[in-house]
Structure 1
Protein backbone atom coordinates (compact mmCIF):
# COMPACT_ATOMS: atom_id res chain seq x y z
CA UNK A 1 0.00 0.00 0.00
CA UNK A 2 0.98 3.61 -0.44
CA UNK A 3 2.12 5.19 2.81
CA UNK A 4 0.98 8.67 3.83
CA UNK A 5 4.21 10.35 2.70
CA UNK A 6 4.00 8.77 -0.76
CA UNK A 7 0.36 9.80 -1.10
CA UNK A 8 1.22 13.40 -0.25
CA UNK A 9 4.16 13.48 -2.68
CA UNK A 10 2.06 12.13 -5.55
CA UNK A 11 -0.72 14.59 -4.75
CA UNK A 12 1.73 17.49 -4.93
CA UNK A 13 3.15 16.16 -8.21
CA UNK A 14 -0.28 15.83 -9.82
CA UNK A 15 -1.36 19.29 -8.60
CA UNK A 16 1.87 20.94 -9.80
CA UNK A 17 1.54 19.21 -13.18
CA UNK A 18 -2.05 20.46 -13.51
CA UNK A 19 -0.98 24.02 -12.68
CA UNK A 20 1.86 23.79 -15.18
CA UNK A 21 -0.59 22.67 -17.85
CA UNK A 22 -2.94 25.57 -17.03
CA UNK A 23 -0.06 28.06 -17.27
CA UNK A 24 1.07 26.57 -20.59
CA UNK A 25 -2.49 26.76 -21.97
CA UNK A 26 -2.78 30.41 -20.96
CA UNK A 27 0.49 31.24 -22.66
CA UNK A 28 -0.16 29.25 -25.84
CA UNK A 29 -3.53 27.95 -27.13
CA UNK A 30 -1.96 25.85 -29.89
CA UNK A 31 -3.14 22.46 -28.63
CA UNK A 32 -2.37 20.72 -31.89
CA UNK A 33 1.31 21.63 -31.65
CA UNK A 34 1.40 20.36 -28.07
CA UNK A 35 -0.18 17.08 -29.09
CA UNK A 36 2.41 16.54 -31.81
CA UNK A 37 5.36 17.24 -29.51
CA UNK A 38 4.80 17.47 -25.71
CA UNK A 39 8.08 19.30 -25.16
CA UNK A 40 8.33 21.32 -28.35
CA UNK A 41 8.41 24.58 -26.42
CA UNK A 42 11.14 23.41 -24.03
CA UNK A 43 13.28 21.95 -26.80
CA UNK A 44 12.98 25.18 -28.73
CA UNK A 45 14.41 27.15 -25.81
CA UNK A 46 16.91 24.67 -24.36
CA UNK A 47 19.50 22.75 -26.36
CA UNK A 48 18.78 19.03 -26.40
CA UNK A 49 21.62 17.02 -24.81
CA UNK A 50 22.36 13.48 -23.67
CA UNK A 51 23.22 12.83 -20.03
CA UNK A 52 23.85 9.65 -17.99
CA UNK A 53 20.81 8.22 -16.25
CA UNK A 54 21.53 8.77 -12.52
CA UNK A 55 22.38 5.55 -10.68
CA UNK A 56 20.05 6.68 -7.90
CA UNK A 57 17.06 7.08 -10.23
CA UNK A 58 15.10 4.11 -8.93
CA UNK A 59 12.26 4.57 -11.42
CA UNK A 60 14.61 3.54 -14.25
CA UNK A 61 16.55 0.81 -12.43
CA UNK A 62 17.44 -2.00 -14.85
CA UNK A 63 15.75 -0.26 -17.78
CA UNK A 64 18.51 -1.35 -20.18
CA UNK A 65 20.14 1.89 -21.34
CA UNK A 66 22.57 4.32 -19.77
CA UNK A 67 21.91 7.76 -21.33
CA UNK A 68 18.81 9.97 -21.27
CA UNK A 69 17.93 12.95 -23.43
CA UNK A 70 17.24 16.31 -21.80
CA UNK A 71 14.96 18.18 -21.68
CA UNK A 72 12.83 15.11 -21.13
CA UNK A 73 9.25 14.61 -22.27
CA UNK A 74 7.96 16.40 -19.17
CA UNK A 75 10.12 19.49 -19.65
CA UNK A 76 12.72 18.75 -16.96
CA UNK A 77 16.00 20.33 -18.05
CA UNK A 78 18.37 18.49 -15.66
CA UNK A 79 18.88 14.89 -14.61
CA UNK A 80 18.63 15.95 -10.98
CA UNK A 81 15.22 17.54 -11.50
CA UNK A 82 13.98 14.50 -13.41
CA UNK A 83 15.23 12.18 -10.67
CA UNK A 84 13.58 14.21 -7.91
CA UNK A 85 10.22 14.39 -9.69
CA UNK A 86 10.25 10.73 -10.73
CA UNK A 87 10.66 9.51 -7.15
CA UNK A 88 7.00 10.24 -6.42
CA UNK A 89 5.94 7.41 -8.73
CA UNK A 90 7.95 4.66 -7.06
CA UNK A 91 4.97 3.54 -4.89
CA UNK A 92 2.95 2.92 -8.07
CA UNK A 93 5.60 0.44 -9.26
CA UNK A 94 5.08 -1.44 -6.01
CA UNK A 95 1.39 -1.93 -6.83
CA UNK A 96 2.30 -4.02 -9.95
CA UNK A 97 -0.74 -2.69 -11.80
CA UNK A 98 0.90 -3.31 -15.20
CA UNK A 99 4.14 -5.01 -16.25
CA UNK A 100 5.14 -2.00 -18.39
CA UNK A 101 4.59 0.72 -15.77
CA UNK A 102 8.34 1.22 -15.28
CA UNK A 103 8.97 1.25 -19.04
CA UNK A 104 6.27 3.89 -19.59
CA UNK A 105 7.24 6.20 -16.72
CA UNK A 106 10.97 5.96 -17.44
CA UNK A 107 10.40 6.80 -21.11
CA UNK A 108 8.92 10.11 -19.92
CA UNK A 109 11.35 11.04 -17.15
CA UNK A 110 14.51 9.60 -18.75
CA UNK A 111 13.85 9.08 -22.47
CA UNK A 112 16.47 6.98 -24.22
CA UNK A 113 19.16 9.00 -26.02
CA UNK A 114 19.91 7.86 -29.58
CA UNK A 115 22.78 9.67 -31.34
CA UNK A 116 20.96 9.48 -34.68
CA UNK A 117 17.74 11.01 -33.27
CA UNK A 118 17.86 14.63 -32.10
CA UNK A 119 14.70 14.54 -29.95
CA UNK A 120 13.50 12.36 -27.05
CA UNK A 121 11.90 9.07 -28.12
CA UNK A 122 8.54 8.92 -26.36
CA UNK A 123 6.26 6.01 -25.50
CA UNK A 124 3.86 4.65 -28.09
CA UNK A 125 0.24 5.60 -27.54
CA UNK A 126 -0.66 1.93 -27.08
CA UNK A 127 1.87 1.64 -24.22
CA UNK A 128 0.45 4.73 -22.51
CA UNK A 129 -3.12 3.48 -22.87
CA UNK A 130 -2.30 0.01 -21.55
CA UNK A 131 -0.60 1.39 -18.43
CA UNK A 132 -3.31 4.01 -17.92
CA UNK A 133 -6.15 1.50 -18.17
CA UNK A 134 -4.45 -0.85 -15.70
CA UNK A 135 -3.16 1.70 -13.18
CA UNK A 136 -5.86 4.37 -13.16
CA UNK A 137 -8.18 2.24 -10.96
CA UNK A 138 -5.37 1.94 -8.41
CA UNK A 139 -4.70 5.66 -8.48
CA UNK A 140 -8.42 6.49 -8.33
CA UNK A 141 -8.77 4.41 -5.18
CA UNK A 142 -6.45 6.95 -3.53
CA UNK A 143 -8.17 9.93 -5.11
CA UNK A 144 -5.66 10.64 -7.90
CA UNK A 145 -6.63 11.27 -11.54
CA UNK A 146 -4.53 10.33 -14.55
CA UNK A 147 -2.27 13.43 -14.95
CA UNK A 148 -2.80 15.61 -18.01
CA UNK A 149 0.95 15.49 -18.63
CA UNK A 150 0.45 11.75 -19.29
CA UNK A 151 -2.32 12.37 -21.84
CA UNK A 152 -2.00 9.40 -24.20
CA UNK A 153 -3.24 11.35 -27.23
CA UNK A 154 0.08 13.25 -27.18
CA UNK A 155 2.10 10.17 -28.07
CA UNK A 156 2.64 8.50 -31.49
CA UNK A 157 0.26 5.79 -32.59
CA UNK A 158 3.09 3.54 -33.75
CA UNK A 159 3.73 4.93 -37.23
CA UNK A 160 6.58 7.06 -35.82
CA UNK A 161 9.58 5.99 -33.73
CA UNK A 162 8.35 5.29 -30.20
CA UNK A 163 8.79 2.93 -27.25
CA UNK A 164 6.31 0.02 -27.38
CA UNK A 165 5.11 -2.23 -24.60
CA UNK A 166 6.82 -5.50 -23.78
CA UNK A 167 4.33 -7.18 -26.08
CA UNK A 168 2.64 -5.27 -28.90
CA UNK A 169 -1.08 -6.18 -28.79
CA UNK A 170 -1.38 -5.55 -32.54
CA UNK A 171 1.05 -8.36 -33.44
CA UNK A 172 -0.20 -11.80 -34.31
CA UNK A 173 0.34 -14.13 -31.34
CA UNK A 174 1.43 -17.13 -33.42
CA UNK A 175 3.91 -15.11 -35.48
CA UNK A 176 5.32 -13.47 -32.37
CA UNK A 177 5.91 -16.76 -30.58
CA UNK A 178 7.65 -18.23 -33.63
CA UNK A 179 9.92 -15.23 -34.10
CA UNK A 180 10.85 -14.92 -30.43
CA UNK A 181 11.67 -18.62 -30.21
CA UNK A 182 13.98 -18.45 -33.27
CA UNK A 183 15.74 -15.19 -32.41
CA UNK A 184 16.33 -16.04 -28.76
CA UNK A 185 18.64 -18.82 -29.91
CA UNK A 186 21.01 -16.00 -30.88
CA UNK A 187 21.76 -15.24 -27.25
CA UNK A 188 20.95 -18.43 -25.41
CA UNK A 189 23.20 -19.31 -22.41
CA UNK A 190 26.41 -21.27 -22.96
CA UNK A 191 25.13 -24.65 -21.85
CA UNK A 192 27.94 -27.22 -21.40
CA UNK A 193 30.21 -25.37 -23.81
CA UNK A 194 27.76 -25.56 -26.72
CA UNK A 195 27.93 -21.78 -27.14
CA UNK A 196 31.67 -21.95 -27.79
CA UNK A 197 31.17 -24.74 -30.31
CA UNK A 198 28.58 -22.68 -32.17
CA UNK A 199 30.93 -19.69 -32.26
CA UNK A 200 33.70 -21.85 -33.73
CA UNK A 201 31.42 -23.47 -36.28
CA UNK A 202 29.96 -20.17 -37.47
CA UNK A 203 33.03 -17.94 -37.22
CA UNK A 204 34.09 -18.28 -40.86
CA UNK A 205 30.49 -18.08 -42.06
CA UNK A 206 29.97 -14.69 -40.42
CA UNK A 207 30.65 -11.27 -41.92
CA UNK A 208 31.76 -9.88 -38.58
CA UNK A 209 32.97 -11.11 -35.20
CA UNK A 210 33.80 -8.97 -32.17
CA UNK A 211 35.01 -9.31 -28.65
CA UNK A 212 33.25 -6.52 -26.79
CA UNK A 213 31.74 -5.17 -23.63
CA UNK A 214 28.16 -3.91 -23.64
CA UNK A 215 27.33 -0.42 -22.43
CA UNK A 216 23.56 -0.47 -22.88
CA UNK A 217 20.67 -1.90 -24.80
CA UNK A 218 17.21 -0.62 -25.64
CA UNK A 219 14.10 -1.86 -27.39
CA UNK A 220 13.03 0.14 -30.46
CA UNK A 221 9.83 -1.05 -32.03
CA UNK A 222 10.19 -4.82 -32.32
CA UNK A 223 14.01 -4.74 -32.39
CA UNK A 224 16.69 -4.63 -29.70
CA UNK A 225 19.59 -2.19 -30.15
CA UNK A 226 22.84 -3.18 -28.39
CA UNK A 227 25.49 -0.48 -27.87
CA UNK A 228 29.09 -1.59 -27.16
CA UNK A 229 31.06 0.04 -24.38
CA UNK A 230 34.40 1.46 -25.41
CA UNK A 231 36.38 0.01 -28.26
CA UNK A 232 35.58 -3.52 -29.41
CA UNK A 233 38.23 -5.94 -30.68
CA UNK A 234 37.51 -6.88 -34.29
CA UNK A 235 38.10 -10.59 -34.86
CA UNK A 236 36.54 -10.74 -38.32
CA UNK A 237 35.11 -8.05 -40.62
CA UNK A 238 33.77 -8.37 -44.16
CA UNK A 239 31.14 -5.66 -43.98
CA UNK A 240 32.85 -2.64 -45.55
CA UNK A 241 33.71 0.61 -43.70
CA UNK A 242 33.23 0.25 -39.96
CA UNK A 243 30.89 3.18 -39.33
CA UNK A 244 28.16 1.37 -37.40
CA UNK A 245 27.91 2.04 -33.67
CA UNK A 246 25.32 -0.54 -32.65
CA UNK A 247 24.38 -4.20 -33.04
CA UNK A 248 20.80 -5.30 -33.61
CA UNK A 249 18.56 -8.19 -32.57
CA UNK A 250 15.33 -8.31 -34.60
CA UNK A 251 11.76 -9.27 -33.78
CA UNK A 252 11.58 -8.39 -30.08
CA UNK A 253 14.08 -10.99 -28.92
CA UNK A 254 14.06 -11.84 -25.22
CA UNK A 255 17.79 -12.15 -24.65
CA UNK A 256 19.12 -13.92 -21.52
CA UNK A 257 22.66 -12.71 -22.30
CA UNK A 258 21.49 -9.11 -21.69
CA UNK A 259 19.71 -9.76 -18.41
CA UNK A 260 21.14 -8.49 -15.13
CA UNK A 261 24.32 -6.44 -14.93
CA UNK A 262 26.15 -5.90 -18.21
CA UNK A 263 29.56 -6.89 -16.93
CA UNK A 264 32.27 -8.97 -18.50
CA UNK A 265 33.10 -9.81 -22.10
CA UNK A 266 30.90 -10.95 -24.96
CA UNK A 267 31.61 -12.56 -28.32
CA UNK A 268 29.33 -11.43 -31.13
CA UNK A 269 28.90 -12.91 -34.62
CA UNK A 270 26.63 -11.68 -37.38
CA UNK A 271 25.92 -10.37 -40.84
CA UNK A 272 25.21 -7.01 -42.44
CA UNK A 273 21.60 -6.46 -43.46
CA UNK A 274 20.12 -3.22 -44.77
CA UNK A 275 23.04 -1.26 -43.35
CA UNK A 276 22.71 -2.81 -39.88
CA UNK A 277 25.00 -5.21 -38.05
CA UNK A 278 22.53 -8.00 -37.38
CA UNK A 279 23.52 -10.42 -34.61
CA UNK A 280 23.42 -14.15 -35.28
CA UNK A 281 25.13 -15.22 -32.05
CA UNK A 282 25.83 -13.33 -28.83
CA UNK A 283 27.75 -15.24 -26.17
CA UNK A 284 28.39 -13.87 -22.69
CA UNK A 285 31.77 -15.23 -21.58
CA UNK A 286 31.39 -17.00 -18.24
CA UNK A 287 35.03 -18.02 -17.61
CA UNK A 288 38.16 -16.01 -16.85
CA UNK A 289 39.99 -13.72 -19.27
CA UNK A 290 42.89 -16.14 -19.76
CA UNK A 291 40.51 -18.76 -21.13
CA UNK A 292 38.88 -16.13 -23.34
CA UNK A 293 42.23 -15.15 -24.90
CA UNK A 294 42.98 -18.80 -25.55
CA UNK A 295 39.58 -19.24 -27.22
CA UNK A 296 40.12 -16.17 -29.41
CA UNK A 297 43.50 -17.51 -30.57
CA UNK A 298 41.70 -20.73 -31.58
CA UNK A 299 39.21 -18.73 -33.61
CA UNK A 300 41.86 -16.68 -35.38
CA UNK A 301 43.82 -19.79 -36.36
CA UNK A 302 40.90 -21.03 -38.46
CA UNK A 303 41.50 -20.94 -42.21
CA UNK A 304 38.49 -18.93 -43.37
Structure 2
Protein backbone atom coordinates (compact mmCIF):
# COMPACT_ATOMS: atom_id res chain seq x y z
CA UNK A 1 0.00 0.00 0.00
CA UNK A 2 1.74 3.17 -1.13
CA UNK A 3 0.70 6.66 -0.37
CA UNK A 4 1.58 10.30 -0.99
CA UNK A 5 3.91 11.13 1.82
CA UNK A 6 2.55 14.35 3.07
CA UNK A 7 4.99 16.47 1.43
CA UNK A 8 3.10 16.46 2.17
CA UNK A 9 3.16 17.73 2.36
CA UNK A 10 4.66 14.80 1.57
CA UNK A 11 2.45 14.99 -0.32
CA UNK A 12 2.53 13.07 2.87
CA UNK A 13 2.37 10.78 -0.18
CA UNK A 14 -0.62 9.39 -1.80
CA UNK A 15 -0.59 5.68 -1.46
CA UNK A 16 -2.06 2.99 -3.50
CA UNK A 17 -4.97 2.56 -1.26
CA UNK A 18 -6.04 4.62 -4.23
CA UNK A 19 -5.81 1.50 -6.33
CA UNK A 20 -7.03 -0.89 -3.67
CA UNK A 21 -10.29 1.00 -3.38
CA UNK A 22 -11.05 0.04 -6.98
CA UNK A 23 -12.17 -3.44 -6.06
CA UNK A 24 -15.60 -2.13 -5.09
CA UNK A 25 -15.91 0.56 -7.71
CA UNK A 26 -19.50 1.43 -8.50
CA UNK A 27 -20.24 1.00 -12.19
CA UNK A 28 -21.80 4.37 -12.92
CA UNK A 29 -24.91 4.16 -15.05
CA UNK A 30 -25.86 0.80 -13.50
CA UNK A 31 -27.55 0.54 -10.16
CA UNK A 32 -26.70 -2.87 -8.74
CA UNK A 33 -25.42 -1.43 -5.49
CA UNK A 34 -28.60 0.51 -5.00
CA UNK A 35 -30.87 -2.51 -5.20
CA UNK A 36 -29.68 -2.92 -1.64
CA UNK A 37 -31.32 -0.69 0.92
CA UNK A 38 -29.36 2.55 1.04
CA UNK A 39 -28.98 3.90 4.53
CA UNK A 40 -28.32 7.49 5.44
CA UNK A 41 -25.50 7.54 7.96
CA UNK A 42 -24.22 10.44 10.02
CA UNK A 43 -20.75 11.42 8.78
CA UNK A 44 -18.51 10.46 11.73
CA UNK A 45 -16.05 12.95 13.18
CA UNK A 46 -13.18 10.51 12.55
CA UNK A 47 -13.87 10.60 8.80
CA UNK A 48 -11.40 13.46 8.62
CA UNK A 49 -11.63 13.83 4.85
CA UNK A 50 -15.32 14.80 4.96
CA UNK A 51 -16.59 15.29 8.51
CA UNK A 52 -17.11 19.07 8.33
CA UNK A 53 -18.43 19.54 4.79
CA UNK A 54 -21.72 21.24 3.94
CA UNK A 55 -23.93 18.20 4.69
CA UNK A 56 -24.04 15.83 7.65
CA UNK A 57 -25.39 12.53 6.27
CA UNK A 58 -23.85 10.20 3.69
CA UNK A 59 -24.96 7.14 1.71
CA UNK A 60 -23.80 3.61 2.30
CA UNK A 61 -22.88 1.87 0.08
CA UNK A 62 -21.00 4.84 -1.30
CA UNK A 63 -20.09 5.45 -4.93
CA UNK A 64 -16.89 3.43 -4.61
CA UNK A 65 -18.70 0.32 -3.43
CA UNK A 66 -17.68 0.56 0.23
CA UNK A 67 -20.47 -1.02 2.24
CA UNK A 68 -19.25 -0.36 5.78
CA UNK A 69 -18.04 2.73 7.55
CA UNK A 70 -14.78 0.95 8.43
CA UNK A 71 -14.03 0.51 4.73
CA UNK A 72 -14.74 4.18 4.10
CA UNK A 73 -12.52 5.31 6.99
CA UNK A 74 -9.63 3.09 5.90
CA UNK A 75 -9.65 4.15 2.25
CA UNK A 76 -10.52 7.83 2.65
CA UNK A 77 -7.61 8.61 4.99
CA UNK A 78 -5.10 7.95 2.21
CA UNK A 79 -6.42 10.92 0.25
CA UNK A 80 -6.07 13.55 2.96
CA UNK A 81 -2.50 14.39 1.84
CA UNK A 82 -3.73 15.27 -1.64
CA UNK A 83 -6.27 17.69 -0.17
CA UNK A 84 -3.57 19.22 2.02
CA UNK A 85 -1.41 19.77 -1.04
CA UNK A 86 -4.05 22.18 -2.38
CA UNK A 87 -3.61 21.21 -6.02
CA UNK A 88 -7.21 22.31 -6.68
CA UNK A 89 -9.82 24.08 -4.51
CA UNK A 90 -12.46 21.42 -5.30
CA UNK A 91 -10.36 18.35 -4.50
CA UNK A 92 -12.13 17.70 -1.22
CA UNK A 93 -15.58 18.27 -2.72
CA UNK A 94 -14.85 15.75 -5.49
CA UNK A 95 -13.43 13.09 -3.16
CA UNK A 96 -16.24 13.43 -0.63
CA UNK A 97 -18.86 13.15 -3.38
CA UNK A 98 -17.51 9.61 -3.88
CA UNK A 99 -16.42 8.49 -0.42
CA UNK A 100 -19.29 10.17 1.46
CA UNK A 101 -22.01 10.98 -1.09
CA UNK A 102 -24.79 13.20 0.20
CA UNK A 103 -27.84 11.22 1.35
CA UNK A 104 -31.36 12.59 0.89
CA UNK A 105 -34.28 10.54 2.17
CA UNK A 106 -36.57 11.51 -0.69
CA UNK A 107 -34.07 10.76 -3.46
CA UNK A 108 -33.39 7.16 -4.49
CA UNK A 109 -30.66 7.82 -7.04
CA UNK A 110 -27.17 8.73 -5.82
CA UNK A 111 -25.95 12.26 -6.46
CA UNK A 112 -22.74 11.96 -8.45
CA UNK A 113 -20.02 14.51 -9.16
CA UNK A 114 -20.46 16.25 -12.50
CA UNK A 115 -17.95 15.34 -15.17
CA UNK A 116 -16.76 18.94 -15.22
CA UNK A 117 -15.93 18.74 -11.49
CA UNK A 118 -13.85 15.62 -12.08
CA UNK A 119 -12.09 17.11 -15.10
CA UNK A 120 -11.28 20.31 -13.24
CA UNK A 121 -9.76 18.46 -10.27
CA UNK A 122 -7.89 16.10 -12.60
CA UNK A 123 -6.29 19.02 -14.45
CA UNK A 124 -5.08 20.47 -11.17
CA UNK A 125 -3.99 17.32 -9.34
CA UNK A 126 -3.04 14.67 -11.91
CA UNK A 127 0.30 16.36 -12.79
CA UNK A 128 1.23 16.45 -9.12
CA UNK A 129 0.31 12.79 -8.70
CA UNK A 130 2.33 11.83 -11.79
CA UNK A 131 5.35 13.64 -10.34
CA UNK A 132 5.24 11.16 -7.46
CA UNK A 133 4.80 8.20 -9.79
CA UNK A 134 1.05 7.74 -9.34
CA UNK A 135 -1.31 7.91 -12.32
CA UNK A 136 -4.81 9.32 -12.07
CA UNK A 137 -6.69 6.21 -10.83
CA UNK A 138 -9.14 4.32 -12.98
CA UNK A 139 -11.84 4.69 -10.36
CA UNK A 140 -11.73 8.46 -10.93
CA UNK A 141 -11.94 8.37 -14.73
CA UNK A 142 -14.08 11.37 -15.57
CA UNK A 143 -16.11 9.76 -18.35
CA UNK A 144 -17.75 7.64 -15.64
CA UNK A 145 -19.57 10.71 -14.38
CA UNK A 146 -22.58 12.49 -15.91
CA UNK A 147 -22.42 15.62 -17.99
CA UNK A 148 -23.45 18.65 -15.97
CA UNK A 149 -27.12 18.60 -14.96
CA UNK A 150 -29.28 19.64 -12.05
CA UNK A 151 -28.65 16.38 -10.17
CA UNK A 152 -24.86 16.24 -10.11
CA UNK A 153 -22.32 18.21 -8.09
CA UNK A 154 -20.67 20.94 -10.17
CA UNK A 155 -17.31 22.64 -9.66
CA UNK A 156 -17.28 25.89 -7.73
CA UNK A 157 -17.70 29.00 -9.82
CA UNK A 158 -14.70 31.30 -10.01
CA UNK A 159 -16.51 33.77 -7.73
CA UNK A 160 -17.18 31.15 -5.07
CA UNK A 161 -13.82 29.42 -4.82
CA UNK A 162 -12.89 28.95 -1.19
CA UNK A 163 -9.63 27.78 0.37
CA UNK A 164 -9.20 24.01 0.42
CA UNK A 165 -8.41 24.04 4.11
CA UNK A 166 -9.49 26.44 6.81
CA UNK A 167 -5.91 27.01 7.84
CA UNK A 168 -2.45 26.05 6.70
CA UNK A 169 -1.57 22.68 8.29
CA UNK A 170 1.19 22.89 10.85
CA UNK A 171 4.59 21.41 10.07
CA UNK A 172 5.25 18.12 11.85
CA UNK A 173 7.69 18.67 14.72
CA UNK A 174 9.99 15.96 13.35
CA UNK A 175 10.15 17.71 9.96
CA UNK A 176 11.01 21.25 11.02
CA UNK A 177 14.19 22.60 9.46
CA UNK A 178 17.09 23.09 11.86
CA UNK A 179 20.65 24.34 11.49
CA UNK A 180 22.92 22.31 13.72
CA UNK A 181 26.65 22.35 14.37
CA UNK A 182 28.61 19.19 15.13
CA UNK A 183 28.03 19.42 18.89
CA UNK A 184 24.30 19.93 18.43
CA UNK A 185 24.10 16.95 16.07
CA UNK A 186 25.80 14.74 18.64
CA UNK A 187 23.55 16.13 21.35
CA UNK A 188 20.47 15.37 19.24
CA UNK A 189 21.66 11.81 18.64
CA UNK A 190 22.24 11.32 22.34
CA UNK A 191 18.68 12.43 23.10
CA UNK A 192 17.35 9.69 20.83
CA UNK A 193 17.41 5.90 20.90
CA UNK A 194 18.19 5.23 17.25
CA UNK A 195 19.27 6.79 13.97
CA UNK A 196 18.60 5.11 10.63
CA UNK A 197 19.28 5.84 6.99
CA UNK A 198 16.20 4.61 5.15
CA UNK A 199 14.31 4.51 1.91
CA UNK A 200 10.55 4.26 2.19
CA UNK A 201 8.82 1.06 1.08
CA UNK A 202 5.25 1.70 2.24
CA UNK A 203 3.23 4.30 4.08
CA UNK A 204 -0.02 3.69 5.92
CA UNK A 205 -2.29 5.81 8.08
CA UNK A 206 -3.43 4.40 11.41
CA UNK A 207 -5.85 6.64 13.24
CA UNK A 208 -4.09 10.03 13.13
CA UNK A 209 -0.54 8.64 12.89
CA UNK A 210 1.60 7.82 9.87
CA UNK A 211 3.14 4.35 9.78
CA UNK A 212 6.30 4.15 7.67
CA UNK A 213 7.78 0.83 6.58
CA UNK A 214 11.37 1.24 5.33
CA UNK A 215 12.96 -0.92 2.67
CA UNK A 216 14.76 -3.96 4.02
CA UNK A 217 18.23 -2.56 3.28
CA UNK A 218 17.85 0.38 5.68
CA UNK A 219 21.11 1.09 7.50
CA UNK A 220 21.45 1.39 11.27
CA UNK A 221 23.62 4.38 12.06
CA UNK A 222 23.17 4.57 15.79
CA UNK A 223 21.37 2.40 18.36
CA UNK A 224 21.08 2.84 22.12
CA UNK A 225 20.13 0.35 24.80
CA UNK A 226 16.40 -0.26 24.69
CA UNK A 227 16.31 -0.63 20.93
CA UNK A 228 17.09 -4.20 19.94
CA UNK A 229 18.17 -5.90 16.75
CA UNK A 230 14.70 -7.46 16.70
CA UNK A 231 13.14 -3.98 16.65
CA UNK A 232 15.19 -3.15 13.57
CA UNK A 233 14.84 -6.50 11.81
CA UNK A 234 11.33 -5.64 10.66
CA UNK A 235 11.45 -1.93 11.18
CA UNK A 236 8.22 0.02 11.48
CA UNK A 237 8.49 3.73 12.20
CA UNK A 238 5.76 6.07 13.40
CA UNK A 239 5.24 9.77 12.77
CA UNK A 240 2.82 10.94 15.39
CA UNK A 241 -0.20 12.93 14.27
CA UNK A 242 0.98 12.53 10.66
CA UNK A 243 -2.49 13.13 9.22
CA UNK A 244 -2.80 16.49 10.95
CA UNK A 245 0.56 17.97 9.98
CA UNK A 246 2.72 18.32 6.90
CA UNK A 247 6.26 17.18 6.14
CA UNK A 248 7.65 19.07 3.15
CA UNK A 249 11.04 17.54 3.88
CA UNK A 250 9.72 14.13 2.89
CA UNK A 251 8.53 14.92 -0.62
CA UNK A 252 10.05 12.10 -2.64
CA UNK A 253 9.26 8.47 -1.92
CA UNK A 254 12.40 7.43 -3.85
CA UNK A 255 14.80 9.50 -1.76
CA UNK A 256 16.90 8.40 1.22
CA UNK A 257 16.22 9.85 4.67
CA UNK A 258 17.97 10.13 7.99
CA UNK A 259 15.48 9.44 10.76
CA UNK A 260 16.12 9.64 14.48
CA UNK A 261 13.73 8.70 17.18
CA UNK A 262 12.83 7.11 20.47
CA UNK A 263 11.28 3.83 21.51
CA UNK A 264 8.00 4.75 23.19
CA UNK A 265 5.52 2.13 24.39
CA UNK A 266 7.12 -0.44 22.07
CA UNK A 267 6.97 1.81 18.98
CA UNK A 268 9.89 3.46 17.18
CA UNK A 269 8.65 7.05 17.08
CA UNK A 270 10.35 9.54 14.73
CA UNK A 271 11.55 12.76 16.36
CA UNK A 272 13.69 14.03 13.46
CA UNK A 273 13.53 13.42 9.72
CA UNK A 274 15.90 14.86 7.12
CA UNK A 275 16.46 14.17 3.43
CA UNK A 276 19.80 12.41 2.98
CA UNK A 277 21.72 14.07 0.19
CA UNK A 278 25.03 12.45 -0.59
CA UNK A 279 27.89 14.88 -0.36
CA UNK A 280 25.84 17.59 1.33
CA UNK A 281 27.86 19.44 3.96
CA UNK A 282 25.38 18.80 6.75
CA UNK A 283 25.50 15.05 6.28
CA UNK A 284 29.29 15.02 6.08
CA UNK A 285 29.18 16.67 9.50
CA UNK A 286 26.67 14.11 10.73
CA UNK A 287 28.93 11.27 9.57
CA UNK A 288 31.92 12.84 11.33
CA UNK A 289 29.90 13.40 14.48
CA UNK A 290 28.60 9.85 14.63
CA UNK A 291 32.12 8.41 14.45
CA UNK A 292 33.20 10.34 17.54
CA UNK A 293 29.91 10.14 19.46
CA UNK A 294 30.13 9.58 23.21
CA UNK A 295 26.85 9.92 25.08
- Whose helix proportion is higher, 1 or 2? 1
**Structure of higher RCO (CA pairs closer than 8 Å, 6+ residues apart):** 2
* Larger strand percent: 2
